[in-house]
Amino acid sequence: MIQARISKRFPPGPESAGFSLEIQLQAGPGVTALFGPSGAGKTLTLDAIAGFTRPDTGRILLDDQILFDAAARVNLRPQERHCGYVFQNYALFPHMTLRENLLFAADRQPRLERHRRVNEMLERFHLSDVSGRRPHEVSGGQKQRCSIARALIGSPKLLLLDEPVRGLDAPLRAELYDLLRNIRADFKIPILLVTHDLEECFELAEEMLIVREGRVVQSGPPRKIQEQPANVEVARLMGISNLFEAEITALDPGRNTSRVRFQNYEIAGRYFPGHLLGDRVWLCVRAEDLRVARHNGSRPELNQVPAKLLRISDRPQSVRLEFAGDISVELSRQEYERQKENKDWLVEFPPSALKVL
């Protein structure tokens, strides 16, 4: 269990804006993702936990050991913190072979144990065949695995991963996800994963913390956050592309209905608890939840609005249609094939898909 409540202030310099980090987090065994745009303070948080940067105030607790406590003037050196750290560029020592890299990390183990442990890790991470090579002589995936093996060989109480999929192609990503799932199952330690890849959060993380401008703005299981983003920034970060400024024009708790006006459209939704008539809100709909239909000139049905198609872009699994007014719709390929002859389009907003923030 890692618990941290830290703050650190960087005063504005001649060429940089000021930045302040105020992070509170708690993570048990399993993967917790720190997700957010670059410059949000995610890596800084890992560095503070690992002891490479000293927070101004706060406390960091790993299991029952105090790593840092500003009030009690405790600040353990990085060497004493027992946090495995997988760096963004792997940071494998270039002048050592993979085996020597692991041996360097196993230095704290008893002499006889050391070689057995290194061999075991090489085997486990499928590196035995290339153990005599230097990092620049092995593939990206092998480097990746070696840096994880090196971080784990000293039996850390916490694993920190800084953007591990960066620069890896799709098959290697899949391999890494499998590897991390195995590690999660076998080591039973908290794993903090810094990423700005949403897919990775959904693949691996039980919990995610959305970090923005040095603060945790929302936390919870990825699916939950996507269903109920705390605000419009979180919604944007979670890949929800349809966000419209809107006004609630009708609310009827008895019939569980509401009406929302945005741009020139007025559509019906479910009742929105906690909102009042006339509230200015953000209407938020996932592109996958919208549907399209052919506009044949007759009166559109409920919640169908006419829209002008601007752009069509292909996605690996889908087709994305962008309409005037910043409305985007993501269709399955079959659905698109069925509709692609449409001349004029209607976009349908299913009432159950509407959310307001």
Please, which residue, 151 or 240, has the CB nearer to other proteins? 151
**How many residues interact with other proteins (rule CB under 8 A)?**
24
What mask of x and - would describe binding to other proteins in positions 86 to 125, judged by CB under 8 A?
-xxx-xxxxx--------xx-xx-----------------
Cβ–Cβ under 8 Å, residues 230 and 356 = no
CB atoms within 10 A of CB 52: 13
Residue 72 CB, shortest distance to other proteins, in Å, is 23
What mask of x and - would describe binding to other proteins in positions 29 to 68, judged by CB under 8 A?
---------------------x-x----------------
Q: According to CB under 8 A, which residues from 172 to 231 bind other proteins?
A: none
Please, which residue, 108 or 166, has the CB nearer to other proteins? 108
Please, which residue, 8 or 82, has the CB nearer to other proteins? 82
Residue 97 CB, shortest distance to other proteins, in Å, is 13
Question: Could you say which of 23, 31, 83, 238 contacts other proteins (CB under 8 A)?
Answer: 83
Cβ–Cβ under 8 Å, residues 20 and 8 = yes
Cα–Cα distance for residue pair 182/163, rounded to 1 Å: 18
Residue 100 CB, shortest distance to other proteins, in Å, is 9
167 binding other proteins? (CB under 8 A): no
Please, which residue, 97 or 218, has the CB nearer to other proteins? 97
Please, which residue, 91 or 268, has the CB nearer to other proteins? 91
Which range in 33-41, 83-91, 170-178, 225-233 contacts other proteins by CB under 8 A? Answer: 83-91
What mask of x and - would describe binding to other proteins in positions 121 to 160, judged by CB under 8 A?
-----------------------------xx--x------
Cβ–Cβ under 8 Å, residues 246 and 356 = yes
Which range in 76-84, 263-271, 298-306, 336-344 contacts other proteins by CB under 8 A? Answer: 76-84
> Based on the number of CB atoms within 10 Å of its own CB, is 266 exposed (0-12), middle (13-18) or buried (19 or more)?
middle
Residue matched to tokens 């349908």: 348
CB atoms within 10 A of CB 207: 19
DSSP-derived secondary structure for 12-38: --SSS--EEEEEEEEE-SEEEEEE--T
Residue 153 CB, shortest distance to other proteins, in Å, is 8
Residue 104 CB, shortest distance to other proteins, in Å, is 6
Give 146's contacts (C-beta < 8 A, 6+ positions apart).
90, 92, 98, 101, 102, 125, 127, 135, 138
Residue 77 CB, shortest distance to other proteins, in Å, is 8
Which residues on adjacent β-strands are paired with residue 190? 30
Cα–Cα distance for residue pair 148/137, rounded to 1 Å: 18
Please, which residue, 99 or 150, has the CB nearer to other proteins? 150
Ordered alpha helix ranges (H), the chain: 42-50, 98-105, 111-124, 140-152, 170-187, 198-204, 222-227, 232-237, 333-339
Q: Tell me the three state secondary structure of residue 322.
A: strand
Give, rounded to a whole angstrom, the gap between the first and last alpha carbons of the chain: 33
Please, which residue, 80 or 178, has the CB nearer to other proteins? 80
**Closest alpha carbon to 39 in 15, 21, 58, 55:** 21
Q: Which residues bind other proteins (CB under 8 A)?
A: 50, 52, 77-79, 81, 83-85, 87-89, 91-95, 104-105, 107-108, 150-151, 154
